[in-house]
Structure 1
Amino acid sequence: MNDITRPVLPPVPIAPPPDDPLFVDAIARGFQVLSAFHGASGPLSLGEIAARSGLGKSAVQRIVHTLRHQGYLRRDPRDRGYLPGLRLLDHALDYQRLDPQIARVLPVLMELRRETGERVDFSLRDDLRLVYALRFQSKRGFYSASLIGTSVPLYCTAGGLAVLSRLPRPEAEALLARSSLVPYSQRTLTDPQAIMARVDQARTDGFAIAQEEIVAGEIALGVPVLDEGGQPIGAIHVAGSLSEWDAGSFARSFAPLAMTAAGGLGGG
């Protein structure tokens, strides 16, 4: 199972609050510089960071110098620009270590991996996308499917469709209207009505299925994870190979297990 070329899926930019005396512009600009690396395919020069962040080159030069001094950026060993620094991983660790939802999901996901023998993931919703927070590989594991922080859109993924199915229909339609419905593969649905039909089916079934809509040869099942108020905050995914499974047998084998796992975590 191999990756196909994926469109870049950066987070939706957050506009600064108007007339907020507590908002620190300098810190926001620092994160704009760090965010310039989202979707980058290699080191970035100062000019590339400026273009991607929307900041002036002189400001970028000062911010990059500061972040490099603090260990959050580093020079490329071949001197071709800048790369994220090691100390950013400290913050990723803090998020996982201190987030109570991840602490609750971890043993559940480990048990689901044991029961299914397939790849299992837990993702959290960030507006129009899901961000993978926990991942357990199967025997067919591949590089990008092991990376924490990888993000995928709601509209063409099993977990995303499952999340949309637990929102009021008008809210789900509004999210689709704000989404860039680009094809990730020849099998990616981009018609809003067709997508909503799948959302409605997931609402009935309690889970969603996606086949090769992002990764060639992959079938995935997603079940929403709810908070105490019954709002979808993310999803549990089970992913397998279409060389071993069809949609019907995959759903029969794993939907009950994934739904039981997700149901024990949130609002039911």
Structure 2
Amino acid sequence: MTRHVLKSVPGDRVITEAQRSDPLFIQSVARAMQVLSAFHGVDGALSLAEIAKSAGIDRSAAQRIVHTLRQLGYLRLDKDGRGFLPDIRILDHTHDYLSLNPVVRNATPVLLELRRNTQERVDLSLFDDVRVVYAARMQSKRENFFATLVGHSVPTYCSSGGRAILSKLDDDEVQDIIARSDRTPLTPRTITDPERVMSKVHEAREQGFALAREEILIGEIALGVPIMGHDGRPCGAIHIAGSLSDWHEEAFRDRFFPLAAEAALAISRF
């Protein structure tokens, strides 16, 4: 099965002139984060030259930053000693984010109950502009490795949770997100035409949920319901995903929309 991981592209993290002129902005810290961002979406260790190129810095700067991050436990040599990989200290920051995020913390017992009631995969995603990032994943027995990873992300415009989130934004903002999205199809069934995507968003706005059929994974149907933040804007979504070999679309919708809506409302109240 193809792995699809949408991440912030390191090249998009270039230091702008406005940041350079900001007296509080520390460029060396920004370059260190660019080095760590070089590992987004890769499938193996990176050489020093590959890190420098991806991070948009010269080899000498990359060497110093990589050495520092190795000393601090954020990078390590691979088993062959020829490339570098993220190290265990990065997980400390993942734990900090998840444990201190009130949506994730308050959603956990709700998601556990939802998983028990549905017996299908249940995900919590957080809204990050053109992508949604999975912050909690409660898989079914048939999931593959990447479908269980926290931090995996998918495009907002074509995922069930993403469209549910977009349904709570005004059309101008939705169109801007769609226009800035990389609309390379993930499967032959991914809807990429902006007008058709907008139609799906309007449909979700009317129904209170979004359905995506084989747009992220072939053979999968997913239902998404938005989670609202205290500011009245959507902050994330609940996804319930099942197999088309087990479910017809209408039966899936009728069975799981009420459960997902109740769970999303419970989380939004926190």
* TM-score normalised by structure 1 residue count: 0.95
Distance 1:253 1:50 in 2: 50
- The amino acid that maps onto 1:183 is P
- Helix, strand or coil at the partner of 2:245: coil
Q: Give the share of equivalent positions with the same residue, in percent.
A: 52
Matches within 5 A, 1:193-212: 193-212=195-214
The 5 A counterparts of 1:35-184 are 35-184=37-186
Give 1:229 deviation, angstroms.
2.4
8 Å CA contact 1:165–1:202 kept in 2: the answer is yes
Compute the displacement of 1:126 (Å). 1.0
CA apart distance, 1:141:
2.3
Task: Give deviations 1:138-188, integer Å, cap 9, x for gaps.
Answer: 122221111010010011110111011110011101111111111101000
What CA distance in whole angstroms lies between the structure 1 residues aligned with 2:231 and 2:261? 18
The residue that corresponds to 1:240 in the other structure is 242
Superposition RMSD in Å: 1.4
Deviation sequence 1:25-56 (CA, Å, 0-9, x none)? 11110000000000111000000001111111
Distance 1:33 1:161 in 2: 32
What is aligned with 1:188? 190
In the TM superposition, what is the alpha-carbon distance from 1:4 to its structure 2 partner? 2.5
The higher-RCO structure (CA 8 Å, 6+ apart) is 1
Amino acid in structure 1 at the alignment position of 2:6: L
- Corresponding residue number in structure 1 for 2:30: 28
Partners of 2:6 and 2:152 within 8 A in 1: no
Code of the residue aligned with 1:4 in structure 2: it is: T
Q: How far apart in 1 are the matches of 2:91 and 2:269?
A: 31
Q: For residue 223 of structure 1, what is the aligned residue in structure 2?
A: 225
Contact 2:214/2:221 (<8 A) preserved: yes
Alignment-mate amino acid for residue 131 of structure 2: R
Aligned to 1:266: 268
TM-score (norm 2): 0.95
Which residue of the other structure, out of 7, 10, 17, is the alignment partner of 2:7?
10
Report the number of matched residues: 265
Find the aligned partners of 2:262 and 2:203 in 1 and give their Cα distance: 19
| Inter-partner Cα distance in structure 1 for 2:213 and 2:94 | 30
Structure 1: which 5+ runs fail to align? none
CA distance in structure 1 between the aligned counterparts of 2:8 and 2:264, rounded to whole angstroms: 25
* Between 214-223 and 15-24, the greater mean CA deviation after superposition: 15-24
For structure 2, the 5+ residue unaligned runs are none
SS in 2 for 1:215: coil
Whole-Å separation in 2 of the counterparts to 1:210 and 1:54: 36
Separation of aligned partners in 2, 1:251 and 1:160: 17
State the distance in 2 between where 1:265 and 1:97 align.
16
Q: Which amino acid aligns with 1:124?
A: L
